[in-house]
Every structure is written in C-alpha cells, then in structure tokens.
Chains A and B, each alone.
Chain A
Amino acid sequence: MSDPIKTITVPKWGLTMEEGKVVTWLVAEGETFSSGDELLELETSKIANVVEAQAGGTLRRIVAAPDETLPVGALLGVLAEPDVSDEEIDAFIAGFQESFVLEEKPEDGGAAEPNYADVGGFRIAWNVSGRADNDATPVLFIHGFGGDGNSWLFNLAALSVDHPAYVIDLPGHGKSSKQVDDGSVETLAKTVSGFLDSIDAEKSHLVGHSLGAAIALEIARTNEPRVASLTLVAPAGLGDTINEDFLKGFSEANSRREMKAAMTCLFADKALVTRDLVDETLKSTRIDGAKEALQKIAAACFDGGVQKMHYDEFLANTDLPTLIIVGENDEIVPVPEGHSSHIIKGAGHMPHMEQASEVNDLICTHIARSEN
C-alpha cells in the first residue's frame, strides 16, 4: 500500500527554473481526478504551463492560492482518499512545511552554470538531465533558430527518466560562443557531431526542433550509424518555405515591441508571449554578436522566405526510425509533404512547449519502440 497522502509540488521545468507562480487551479477541493489529468496552471519567469497529476486521487487541500509564488519543490496541494481525516491532512502539511528545504544554489547565488565543451573552436554550453553514467543511449535535444537549450524545459524531465538527456546551446545561441563561421547547417551539424564525440556518444537519439531538426537530418545524412532515431519537431529542411518576417523580425529586434511581434508567430496561444518571455529572450539576443550570428545563420540556411536545405530525399530512403511532430497552427514552416506527421492541436511552431505532455508521450513511445 502506498502512502495514503500524496503531494503536488512545484515541478522544476528545465534547468534554470527556481520558482513558479500559481495562475489558477483547474480542479476544486474535493474533486477526484486520475493520473495525467490537468491540475493547475503554473507560470515561470518564462512561460506558463499545466501541472498534471502524477497519480490519481481526490484533491483534499489547495495549499498554494492563485498569484502565490513558490520555490521549486514547495507544496501546492495534497491529494488523498476521502477516508483520510482533515486532521491527518493538517498534520501532514505541517510536517511537510517544517521539513521543506530549498534546493541548493551555487555559492554566488547565481543560476546554475552550464557545462562547456570546446568543439572545433566553438565554446558550446551543455547540460545533462538524468544520469549521465546511465548505459542507455543518450537523447540529444537540438533547439531551433533563436532558441536555446532551455526551450526544452517541459520535455527534459519526461525524457530523462530512461535516458541521459543532453541539451546544448547551438553556436551563436544562449550561452555558447557567438561565432558561427559560415552559419550553414553543415557547420552547425559538424559542431553538434563534435559535441557528441566530446561526450563519447557513439549513437544517440536526436530530437531537433525547426532548424535543429534540419541539423539532426544533416547529421543522419552524413553519419547515419551514429543516429539511433530521429524526432523532428516542426522541422526545417522538409519544405520549401519559411516565414521570412519571423526570421528578419527576430534577428533584428531591438525593442521589446519588435521582439514580441516576432515571437507571437511562434505560438498558437498568443497569450503565452508574455512580457517576461520576451524580456528573457531579449537578454540573449542583446548580447554582443548574438544578432549578427542569427543573421548569418538565417542568410546561410534561408534565401528570404525560401529554405535552402532539403532532406526529403534522404528521409524517403532511410530506414532510421523517424517521428515528425507538427503544430496545427504553425506559422513558421509548412507541414512536410510526403511524410507522415503527427499534427498537434492547439499548438503553433512550438508544440513541445505548448502541448508538452502530448509531445513527450509521442517522443517517449517513439524512442522506446526504436530500441526494440
């Protein structure tokens, strides 16, 4: 028999999340739910998402009210069967709060620093979730144009249960160095391959988003044996067009207003593009060299609104297990023609953020299947 009283706590989404703010509860006290049901909306400094039930039960107590901001791991609510008394629940909450300790921060109080790898002259920031010494084949997440490793914040936890899950910041992005050489998909793919060499990953599952998907395809095309499976989320490289206004707007944006306009194209739910999310993004693109790097990559990979990279033929002829996931309302790239894609409802170009749990289930199933 498992514990009669279970906790709902603030999850850690991604590597830098420290606290979350309750937006609204989606279940009321006394309501019964099953594992996987949506319990509440929680907002991070970047973006809001839904907390799902890890187990079924009855929501007996809401501990954190809307608008309350709590650190990762703090108690949001308590679930138990109806026969557990209110006194027992009170005692449980008191005990939890008394023993709750904050996750340790680095000594200077700053956010956790990534690891760095020197790959062919590029300084690449990376992180790993789950156990790096796990014998399982690693999963590598490759973000898209203008993003960084943190765009996988809602996916890392799910994927790192069975595999070491690596995230990198591509050259010119996030905390990686800002030089990109010619900015081509070949150069970026070589760098990512170099990173895989640096962690001694002979074979890995590649999960790429947008430009990152094209990079994954380029790695597979040039060195198929090192790829265990491909997951292509809203991929570039499998269609003719790309939203030129987005590329230009994002890579040239100086003000919050300009950046917000560009980022609004990324999501189906425009309300997700909060001022905080825009400010966080600007913190990256305002660093010296970041905009120039993006502009160089855009010029090398795209010709205005036309994609220069084409992997249709490669994909049609490979036996690699491949999963394609596309948001129903993607305004950046078209749905790939001639390949079977999972279309995610209620998502734009960022299905892995907007419909994280559905996408996580698809990827986990795909990777598990590819290993059998």
Chain B
Amino acid sequence: MAIKTIRQAIGEALRLEMARDEHVFIMGEDVAGGRGGTGVLDAAGGVLGITKDLLEEFGEDRVIDTPISETAILGCAVGAAVSGSRPVAELMFNDFMGVCFDPLLNQAAKFRYMFGGKAETPLVVRTMYGAGIRAAAQHSQTLYHMFTSVPGLKCVCPSNAYDAKGLLIQAIRDNDPVVFLEHKALYDIPGVETPDEAYTIPFGEANFVRDGTDITIVAMGLMVHIASGVAEELAKSGVSVEIVDPRTTSPLDTDSILESVEKTGRLVVMDESAARCGFAHDIAALVADRAFGSLKAPIKTITPPHTPVPFSPALEDAWLPGPEDLVKAITAVMEY
C-alpha cells in the first residue's frame, strides 16, 4: 500500500486488468505513441503518460494506436466489445463525443436491450473532462449529465485515486458500456492510500467524503475538493457539513443522498456539468420529489453559467463554480 495519484491509480488498474484477462486491450490516439513514425515507440505513454510501458508488456495487438478519428475509435471498440473482447478506448476529451454518438448512444447502449439480453458490450471509454486548465471551449466541457441520460450507459466520475482504481477495474469487468470520466485538474493532486492489489468498488455506492449534521453537499470530481476545503473552513464557525460524492451518476446511489438529506434537512448541489438539464437539477429534483418533508430550507444548486467555457483565464475562473459560490449558497440555506 502506498500513496498514489489518480494518474498512477489509472495506469495501475489498466496494467492489472490487462495482465489478468487477455481479452482486455487498449486503443486510442497515441496510447502506444509513435506507431508508423520514425521516432521512439512509446516514448511518452500517451498524452497523459498513463499507458507508458504497456506496449512493451502486452504488445502491439493489445496497445493500439489509432488514427485521429473519434468515430473510428468508438466504432471499432463497440464492434470489438460486442464480439467478445473487452476494449478500453481512450477518447482524449469528452468534448469529442459528438462524432461518436451513434456507436455509443445508439448502438452500444442499446444492444443488450435490442437483443433480448443475449448481447453484451463490455466496453470502457476513458475520457477527460472539466474546466480550469485553459483548454478553451472545445476541450473543457463537463458532459456526464448527457451520458447519464442515456439508458444502457453507465457513467463513472472518480474524485480520488482509491476510487479511480477500484471503479476502473469494476468498469473493465462490467459487461455493459461504461463511460469513465477523468477530471483534468485532478490527475496529480496529492494522492491517497491505494492498495497495490486489484480491487473493485461497486457502481451505485456513494462515498461519504465527510460526515456532518447541518447540511448536505452533493458534489463530484473537482467539486468534491472545493467542497472539502469549504467544509473544513465552515467547521471552525460551527457549521457541520456532510459531503456526498455519488462517484457514479448511472447507476446513482439515491438512497445515500436521500438518507443524508433526511438527516441534515438541507441540500446544496455543487456541479460542474450544466446550467440547464444538468446533474445538479437531477439531484435537486430527486430530493424535492422524495424527501421534501425533511427539508428545512429550499435546495440550492451551483452550476456554471449557461455559456461555453471561456478561454480568457480571468473569465474561466469566474465561470467555474468556486469556494465563494459554495459559501454563499451554504450561508443562504443555513440562514433561511
């Protein structure tokens, strides 16, 4: 056991599962790095360095560089999955999912249903999401709410290394298509204790990041870390904040969210996805629908504004939900 970052945890999960099951292979842009060129093969291990050394260990048939065509990557991966392999396809940015929606949304997500349960599509799509690193409007979006709305897709958004490793191994062993979302700003945040062995975390089980009694914050990914900082500060002034990280949006651990709100009577959802039809609204609706009687104050949602992610650093910082937004929302709910 050692302290590992999310970047290390994801690489370790891929290596362990490839060693365990020969049907697992990875494909994506530059995962082998430099194939067909004149330079050094696997010099970097993909844009993230995560797949480094996998080429040497598992060979070219299981570490596959692809052309720059997201449609081809997903089409190929869905076909491989439905015919017995277990592909882990890397789609650099979730923003590019648009050109893959037919294979993902209309094929992979529907096969089990359309074939009466006889077809399985054990596919994992790893993809980066999230703002805050000056990557501009076409490389900064948070789209988990879109994948979550598609029945047949599972959707995973880990916020720490322990969860990332256990959830990715679970995703690879799962017999349904899973979109595995990695927040760009979290790869190298200070790590947490993460076992060296393989382990799984079941989908649909929220993590209680912090226990509290006054107010529930539901947050995922980068927002978990912002909420933790705020909770730490507010504890000094006597506000006891509970933070629930659902970890997977589909399936969703509705019981844990409802249980927490039934205890605290207050809810703020802090969400990076969307100002309209987003994850925050889904959670707010769930609680309004099923735990209204427990509420001592109106629910607050915090989301970015309904605009593209700005490229200007000053505007991007203002666009992204931050600690001040959360303090303001918590204060408003507590003082209601």
Contacts and interface: CB of A to CB of B under 8 A. Distances in A.
Given A255-B202, A255-B205, A275-B211, A111 B1 contact: yes
Interface of B: 1-3, 166, 193, 195, 197-202, 205, 208, 211, 235, 240, 255
A283 B195 contact: yes
A113 B1 contact: yes
B1 A109 contact: no
Interface of B: prevailing SS: loop
Contacts of B199: 283, 286-288
Pick from B1, B166, B235 the residue with the most CB of A within 10 Å. B1
A104 interface: no
A276 B255 CA distance: 17
Interface string A281-298: 001001110000000000
Interface of A: 67, 108-111, 113, 175, 254-257, 275-276, 283, 286-288
B213 to A, nearest CB: 10
B160 to A, nearest CB: 13
Interface of A: prevailing SS: loop
Contacts of A255: 202, 205
A109 B201 CA distance: 24
B198 A108 contact: no
A175 B196 CA distance: 10
Contact of A286 (B1, B166, B240, B255): B166
Given A255-B202, A275-B208, A108 B3 contact: yes
Contacts of B208: 275
A175 B1 contact: yes
Contacts of A257: 255
A287 B198 contact: yes
14 contacts: A67-B235, A109-B3, A110-B2, A110-B3, A111-B1, A175-B1, A254-B202, A257-B255, A283-B199, A286-B199, A286-B201, A287-B199, A288-B197, A288-B200
Pick from B166, B197, B235, B255 the residue with the most CB of A within 10 Å. B197
Nearest to B240: A67
Given A254-B202, A255-B202, A287 B195 contact: yes
Nearest to B204: A255
Contacts of B198: 287-288
A190 B133 CA distance: 57
Given A108-B3, A110-B2, A286 B200 contact: yes
The 5 closest A-B CB pairs, nearest first, are A288-B198, A287-B199, A286-B199, A110-B2, A110-B3
Nearest to A175: B1
A113 B3 CA distance: 12
A311 B195 CA distance: 37
Contacts of B240: 67
Contacts of B205: 255-256
A288 B197 CA distance: 7
Contacts of A276: 211
B291 to A, nearest CB: 18
A287 to B, nearest CB: 4
Given A67-B235, A287-B199, 12 more contacts: A108-B2, A109-B3, A110-B193, A111-B1, A111-B193, A175-B1, A275-B208, A283-B195, A283-B199, A286-B201, A287-B197, A288-B200
A342 to B, nearest CB: 35
B188 to A, nearest CB: 14
B236 to A, nearest CB: 10
B330 to A, nearest CB: 18
